[in-house]
Chains A and B, each alone.
Chain A
Amino acid sequence: MSKLICKCGHVNPEGSELCQACGRTLTEEAAKRKTNDVMRYEGMARRSQTYHTSIIDKVWNFFSSVKVGVWLIVITLVASAIGTIFPQEFFIPQNIPAVEYYEDRYGIAGKIYYVLGFHDLYGSWWYMLLVAAIGTSIIIASLDRGVPLYKALKKQRVERHDSFLKRQRIYSAYEAKGSQDTLNRLSEGLKKRRYKVRVENGSLLAEKNQFSRWGPYINHTGLIIFLIGAMLRFVPGMYVDEMLWIREGETEIIPGTGQEYLLKNEGFTLETYQEGDSEVFDETIQRTGAIAKNFQTDAILYKKDDNAIAGSTDNITEVDHHAIQVNVPMKFDQFALYQTDYIEDELYKMSFTMDSKETGEPVGSFTVDLFNPNTSGLYELNDGYAVEISGYYPDFSGFDDGEPQSVSPLPNNPAFLFNMISPEHPDGEVAFVAIQQNLEPLGENDYEISFNGIETRDISGLTVRKDLTLWILALGGTIFMFGVIVGSYWNHRRIWIKTDADSNLYAAGHTNKNWYGLKKDIAPAFEYAGLDQPDDHQELKESKGNAKEEDESGTTREHK
Chain B
Amino acid sequence: MSKKKQKRLIMRVSILAVLLAAVSYTIYSSVTGDERSLVRAGDQAPDFILEDLDGDTHQLSDYKGQGVFLNFWGTWCEPCKEEFPYMQKHYEVFKDQGVEVIAVNVGESEFKVSNFANQFGLTFPVVRDVNSDVMDAYSIGPLPTTLLVNSDGEIEKVITGEMSEEMIVSYMNMIKPESQESSE
Contacts and interface: CB of A to CB of B under 8 A. Distances in A.
Nearest to A47: B8
Contacts, number: 117
A132 B114 CA distance: 55
A129 B33 CA distance: 16
A270 interface: no
How many B residues touch the partner, as a band?
Answer: 35 or more
Contact of A377 (B9, B15, B74, B115): B115
B35 to A, nearest CB: 13
Interface string A131-171: 01001100110010000000000000000000000000000
B123 interface: no
Interface string B15-31: 11001001101110111
A5 B73 CA distance: 81
B114 A406 contact: no
B156 interface: no
B15 A312 contact: no
Interface string B132-163: 11101100000000000000000000000000
Contacts of A377: 111, 115
A140 B11 CA distance: 11
Contact of A409 (B26, B37, B76, B115): B76
B111 A406 contact: no
A262 B133 CA distance: 9
Contact of A395 (B36, B59, B76, B134): B76
B12 A409 contact: no
A375 interface: yes
A59 B48 CA distance: 52
B112 interface: yes
Contacts of B132: 252-253
Contact of A310 (B29, B37, B137): B137
B131 A252 contact: yes
A259 B108 contact: no
A56 interface: yes
Given A259-B133, A377-B115, A310 B109 contact: no
Given A56-B13, A132-B26, A310 B111 contact: no
Given A125-B30, A253-B131, A310-B137, A409 B108 contact: yes
B15 A139 contact: yes
B46 interface: yes
Contacts of B30: 123, 125, 128, 234
B27 A310 contact: no
Interface in B91-147: 106, 108-112, 114-115, 127, 129, 131-134, 136-137
A407 interface: yes
Contacts of B115: 377, 391-392
A253 B109 contact: no
Interface string A232-257: 00111000000000000001110100
A369 B110 CA distance: 12
A47 B8 CA distance: 10
A81 interface: no
Q: Is the interface of B mostly helix, strand, loop or mixed?
A: helix
Contacts of B31: 125
A443 B75 CA distance: 29
Given A125-B27, A310-B134, A311-B49, A389 B76 contact: no
B3 to A, nearest CB: 13
B85 to A, nearest CB: 15
Interface in B41-83: 46-50, 59, 74-76
A60 interface: yes
B133 A310 contact: yes
Interface string A523-540: 000000000000000000
Nearest to B2: A1
A375 B136 contact: no
A67 B106 CA distance: 57
Contact of B76 (A231, A259, A406): A406
A4 to B, nearest CB: 14
B75 A259 contact: no
A390 to B, nearest CB: 8
B16 A59 contact: yes
A190 to B, nearest CB: 38
Nearest to A307: B47
A106 interface: no
A374 interface: yes
Given A51-B5, A253-B133, A140 B48 contact: no
Contacts of A136: 19, 23
A275 to B, nearest CB: 42
B23 A132 contact: yes
A235 B25 CA distance: 9
Contact of B48 (A234, A309, A394): A309
Contacts of A408: 76
A262 B131 CA distance: 8
A143 B109 CA distance: 64
A334 interface: no
Contacts of A311: 48-50, 127, 129, 131, 133-134
A377 B113 CA distance: 12
A311 B135 CA distance: 9
Given A123-B30, A236-B37, A310 B49 contact: yes
A467 interface: no
Interface string A385-412: 0000101101100000000001111000
Nearest to B139: A255
Given A310-B133, A375-B110, A392-B112, A234 B16 contact: no
A57 interface: yes
A231 B49 contact: no
B15 to A, nearest CB: 7
Contacts of B50: 311
A313 interface: yes
Contacts of A389: 111
Given A310-B134, A375-B110, 10 more contacts: A56-B13, A57-B9, A128-B27, A132-B19, A309-B59, A310-B137, A311-B49, A373-B109, A373-B112, A395-B76
5 contacts: A1-B1, A128-B23, A143-B15, A372-B111, A373-B109
Interface of B: 1, 5, 8-9, 12-13, 15-16, 19, 22-23, 25-27, 29-31, 33, 36-37, 46-50, 59, 74-76, 106, 108-112, 114-115, 127, 129, 131-134, 136-137
3 nearest A-B pairs in the assembled complex, by CB-CB distance? A234-B29, A310-B48, A310-B137
